[in-house]
Amino acid sequence: MAQGIPHNVMMNTTLIRDLADVAKDAALLKGVLMRIQETPNSSELVTYAPFTLFPTPVSKGAFLQALAVQTHYNTLVDKISQDPDFLHKALTSTITVDDFTARLFGIYQQVLKDGGFQPIALGLNRSDYMLDQGEDGSPCLKQIEINTFAASFGGLSSRMPDVHRQILKVAGLHEESQRILDNNPAVGLARAIAKAWELYGSEKAVIMFLVEDSQRNIFDQRCIENELWTRNIPTIRKQFDDIHKTGCLDQDKRLFVDGQEVAVVYFRNGYMPQNYVSEQAWDARLMMERSLAVKCPDIRTHLAGTKKVQQILAKPGVLEKFFPDQPQVVEQIRATFAGLYSLDMGPEGDKTVEMALAAPDRFVLKPQREGGAILPRSESYLGNNIYGSEICQVLEGVMESKERMAYILMDKIHPVPLQNYLLRRDTPLKISNCLSELGVFGAYVRTSVEDVLSPFSPPEDLLVRKSLIQWHSDDCRPRKGKDMVMNECVGHLLRTKSSEHADGGVAAGVAVLDNPLLV
């Protein structure tokens, strides 16, 4: 791609070896860190998180398009989460065949039955894209998925710009080093969490990170924790087992864990079936969902991020339901959609099966699982997508069964491979043909003054909560009725992998961290 890294630099083997040493040291100096695989719960031994030696050229127009549409995606997710009729209709077929989604939906129904949701909604999303090669050869932004649950690497991606700037300067590419964009998603994500904590209205309450048993990617989370501590907001880290053993709700549904009141639950675990190792873990999830604590995400926002909802949104007329009289917003969102097809029972699903069996290399078969992107965002999962001849094997086995409703079909995106070096611990240095995925982080907080001050608030907290709400600046002070008090695009993430891999995330050792070099 024009205006990328010069060919003579890419092919200078002596320089590349020297730059790789510089790069690894720069990553360690800047805090682009992971615990080692052998001891994922100890920081006694750490290594650099895998990353590219050079930033990857990315179309400036497509990049800006992705940033511009993110606040609309935030609004869309929030509106979907508040529409029980839509969620029920969208997921009816899925919950009959997918046990995990059915369990989540059961919690959703239980919270509705108990009287509804906490009026403060906190969303930290990441919309992931690849650049499809258009018929005229131009890059075309196409969404892979939107992650509403535990969208990771907002922390480490905040440290990556300085790493690539240093590499380019040492390589003598000073002009290119100045084109590396500032990027700090951790600050924006923490700002949204802090705003939700403020609205909750108890200075003694903590923000609880609900984390995995294996915490190799802890430094990504620590970046956000540190931003919160900078604001004097206390954080704790707990697992499902801790909630089961020490968690409880008081008469006002305030959540206490190990004796500490929890204002915000930030889920970094709970998006995959294997995260729920026992019924006690499911009980803990239900307890948190029923509580006064702000959840990120709450169960309805979790469901809004399912693949089936993504597929339903691509149908004609659906976006218009959520953005009436806003055709420009609808157009912006729809322009990012890839082709998405239902596998529900009936003529429409039959046509999808026939289409996939006739040309499997044109499609990706996606199950109702998080971490199923081309480069999934999950902390540790390898991915779930099905490609090529395996699509035929799966569909031929379920084509006459309702089991096929557990999947959706999506057009396969065809980005242009670019060459780069992927730096990983104990891996030989070699040039690779690479594909990249662009993620854009969004953060929003929605609430209403009346809701915060009435049904969930114990009387002794009313004055504190009212003063905290009034403390916000004029441009984001809540108004009467349900309202966004924050809706922002807060940063980006570029991940790159060798083109020989279909699935796999950064923590899984397949994709690596990167920076866009806009061209």
Active centre residues (catalytic): 126, 145, 147, 152, 307, 366, 370-371, 495
Q: Which residues contact 187 (CB under 8 A, 6 or more apart)?
A: 158, 227, 490
Token reading at 310: 């993504």
Distances (CA, A) of 90 to 22, 317, 344: 51, 14, 11
DSSP result, 446-509: EE-HHHHHTTT--GGGHHHHHHHHHTS-GGG---SSSEEEEEEEEEEEEEEEETT-SS--TTTT
**What does each C-alpha distance from 366 to 101, 343, 420, 448, 504 come to in angstroms?**
14, 11, 28, 37, 14
Please tell me the number of Cα atoms within 13 Å of 33 on its side-chain side. 17
The rounded distance, in Å, linking the Cα atoms of 34 and 49 is: 5
Spatial separation of the C-alpha atoms in residues 24 and 19, rounded to whole Å: 9
Longest dimension (CA), the chain: 70
Residue 441 has phi, psi (to 5 degrees) of -90, 135
Q: How many residues does the chain have?
A: 519
CA-to-CA distance for 417 and 149, rounded, in angstroms?
29
User: With 0-12 CB in 10 A as exposed, 13-18 as middle and 19+ as buried, what is 352?
Assistant: buried
CA–CA dist 158, 153 (Å, integer): 8
Is 123 within 8 Å of 151 (Cβ atoms)?
no
Question: Can you tell me the distance from the alpha carbon of 51 to that of 329, in angstroms, rounded to the nearest whole number?
Answer: 35
Cα separation of 257 and 377, whole Å?
28
Using alpha carbons, select from 1, 131, 126 the residue that is nearest to residue 63: 131
The neighbouring-strand residues paired with 487 are: 444
Task: Determine the 3-state secondary structure of 82 from DSSP.
Answer: coil
- Residue of 76, 90, 188 lying closest to 143 (CA atoms): 76
Helices 327-334 and 60-81: crossing angle in degrees, nearest 10, is 110
Place of tokens 């682009």: 32
> Before 297, cis peptide (omega within 30)?
yes
